[in-house]
Chain A
Amino acid sequence: MYLSVRRSAAIVQRARHRAPGIRPVSVELCLAVFAATFSIPFFWLVTSSLKTYPQMIAYPIVWIPSPPILDHYVQTFQIVPFARYIGNTMIIALMTVVGAVFSNALTAYSLSRINWPLAKPLFALLLSTMMIPFPVLMIPQFLIFRNLGWLDTYLPLVVPAYFGYAFYTFLLRQFFLTIPVELSDAARMDGAGEFRIFWNVIAPLAKPALATIALFQFIGAWESFLPPLIYISSKDLYTVSLGLAMFRGEFTSEVGPMMAGSTVMIMPIVILFFLTQRTFIKGITLTGIKG
């Protein structure tokens, strides 16, 4: 009873919660100005992709395409095999999502739910690797994959995902720690082994965190640029980002398809974002825990 009163008090408090009060009217004005500024690029992207070329370069500027045309979208898919690149990237992204979820969940389970002496030092080691920039690791990784004969295949892009990623392991570990130890202990009493506890107790409870990892990994793979740039040379195997970058190199003047292609590349991410907004925001917020 007391607890629930306290809880509802906390909820009420949160509802009226505010930082040092800035006057509401000026807040609304500031928000509106920022909102307008932040939307300009999106507005410009979509309207540009729908304009005819003369409208694009007209002076004074044509704000709203009239009439809106879809020619640039058609061209995007004709100039380069963009549909193929979307398919390629989808395959890579989904394959890495599976790997990232499993490998990081297993590793995080070991570091948070099993009481063994290396859990702490290993976690510390993992944390310290989080600050190593990719360019530092890029050359030796490239040489490893070259020696394996994996250049110009998806293996260098996909296989590492099956061997953990410090940041995701960290996120999942933090989440696993919030699950009461008693749940594992009870399962152990009932004779469940570690794999059963992992699969039947922890994994179902950690679904939101696992979904966050899947989401981050999908987006990461979708937008990844430097690794495909290094590893993929056949145009048939290009990813969306490499395909889009081609408009910059070989078809410099094709602003229309550039904008249409960018819109196409952004669209799945935006849709995914709106469908999973809660997971998304929770995940990002989780990132900042304890700095």
Chain B
Amino acid sequence: MSRVLAAPRRARVSRRELSNFAYGLLFALPGLIGLLTFVAYPVFASLYYSFTSYSIIGRYRWVGLGNYVNLLTLDDEFWNVLGNTTYFVALSVPLHLVVALLLALLLNSRVPGLSVYRTLFYLPSVVPAVATAMLWLWMYHPTNGILNSLLDVFGIVGPNWLGDRAWAKPALVLMSVWGGGGLMLILLAGLQDVPQELYDAAEVDGAGWWPRFWNVTIPFLSPHLFFGLVTGLIGGFQYFTQVYIMTSGGPARSTAVYSFYLWENAFQFLKMGYASAMAWILLMIVAACTALVFITASRRVYYGGR
């Protein structure tokens, strides 16, 4: 103790800093190693692989931009899966946001049995993807499924959902909305943080339901809606399990989505280099979409004065 006190002030500070640095690094080590080994290295390794032709067995052969050129100019299937994924994301993400917002608004009232409703709306989102896929496969069965049986009650002949090119993608979108309760909970928490005074003030000013919703509720929820948009986008591009289980990309490749084709190239056709090029294109797309959302949203998202 007396030694520390006797030491010059400057040396004491730097010693403290040194010890902080050592402990900081030590504690961060697990995360840091993981970041380098399982994220940073793979990102750059796949960039390298994307310039090679590699098939697990054999050697890496440098092909320059060959994989990218092939994907973008020769591979019709690439454009097909890109289109399918865009369709899926463009439909499911906004629908998901709207339904989650609607449910959150409904739950933010004083109706008896709220916690039961909340549980019920949230529960589907914890159902494992494989089980969801199995269950909806049977729900969508053209003759024995519950969906067409219900439609039958109203005298409507339901489509052959997953067997019909026109209906297979909407069927997957509908299913994904069922499992979207996580965002609802986030929005509900956001709604409860809106200061009541603002509503009261708006009411005093004679603002109706829509102005209050649009000018008070939405600005306060915008960070959460923004979060839902970004995670929805990223999640949409990773959509895989349901397609693998339910349709294997069919009928006529109408539900083959990006990650599914990437997986096929890598682990079915063993075209690792080619699949890596797809991985990098995916990374660019996700980065571009996220950046775009960030830029357009930054002026509209309200962070409560932070």
Contact = CB atoms under 8 A, between A and B. Distances in A.
Interface string A92-135: 00000000001110111111001111110010011001011111
Nearest to A115: B20
A137 B128 contact: no
A136 interface: yes
B234 A41 contact: no
B199 A135 contact: no
A235 interface: no
Interface in B1-52: 17, 20-21, 23-35, 37-43, 45-46, 49
A245 B245 contact: yes
Contacts of A106: 27-31
A27 B125 CA distance: 23
Contacts of A177: none
A116 B21 contact: yes
A258 B134 contact: yes
B270 to A, nearest CB: 11
B23 A136 contact: no
A17 B259 CA distance: 43
A133 B281 CA distance: 12
Interface in A244-291: 244-245, 247-248, 255, 258-259, 261-262, 265-266, 269-270, 273-274, 277, 281, 284-285, 287-288, 290-291
Interface size of A as a range? 35 or more
B257 to A, nearest CB: 10
B263 A140 contact: no
Contacts of B45: 140, 143
B27 to A, nearest CB: 3
Tell me the interface secondary structure of chain A in the complex: helix
Contacts of B23: 110, 114, 116, 194
A133 B28 contact: no
B126 A241 contact: no
Nearest to A30: B106
A22 B105 contact: yes
Interface stretch (B72-80, B90-98, B108-116, B159-167): B108-116
A21 interface: yes
A67 interface: no
A164 B31 contact: yes
Contact of B31 (A103, A136, A143): A103
A139 B34 CA distance: 16
A19 interface: yes
B260 to A, nearest CB: 9
Contacts of A28: 111
A149 interface: no
A21 B209 contact: yes
Contacts of B130: 223, 225, 240-241, 244-245, 262, 265
B144 interface: yes
Contacts of A40: 139, 146, 150
Given A27-B109, A60-B149, A135-B259, A291 B224 contact: yes
B135 interface: yes
Contacts of B46: 136-137, 139-140
Sorted nearest first, the 9 A-B pairs with minimum C-beta distance are A163-B34, A107-B31, A116-B24, A223-B128, A164-B31, A288-B186, A110-B27, A140-B42, A291-B223
30 contacts: A19-B194, A22-B105, A27-B109, A27-B111, A31-B111, A31-B117, A40-B150, A44-B135, A57-B144, A103-B30, A107-B28, A108-B31, A129-B39, A129-B40, A131-B286, A133-B234, A133-B286, A136-B43, A137-B42, A137-B279, A139-B42, A165-B34, A166-B39, A169-B31, A223-B129, A226-B241, A241-B128, A285-B186, A287-B186, A291-B230
Interface of B: 17, 20-21, 23-35, 37-43, 45-46, 49, 56, 103, 105-111, 117-124, 126-131, 134-139, 143-144, 146, 149-150, 152, 178, 182, 185-187, 189-192, 194, 196, 199, 209-210, 212-213, 216-217, 223-224, 226-227, 230, 234, 237-238, 240-241, 244-245, 258-259, 262-263, 266-267, 272, 275-276, 279-280, 282-283, 286-287, 290, 301, 303, 306
Given A38-B123, A223-B130, A291-B301, 8 more contacts: A22-B106, A34-B117, A38-B121, A44-B139, A110-B27, A119-B24, A136-B46, A138-B263
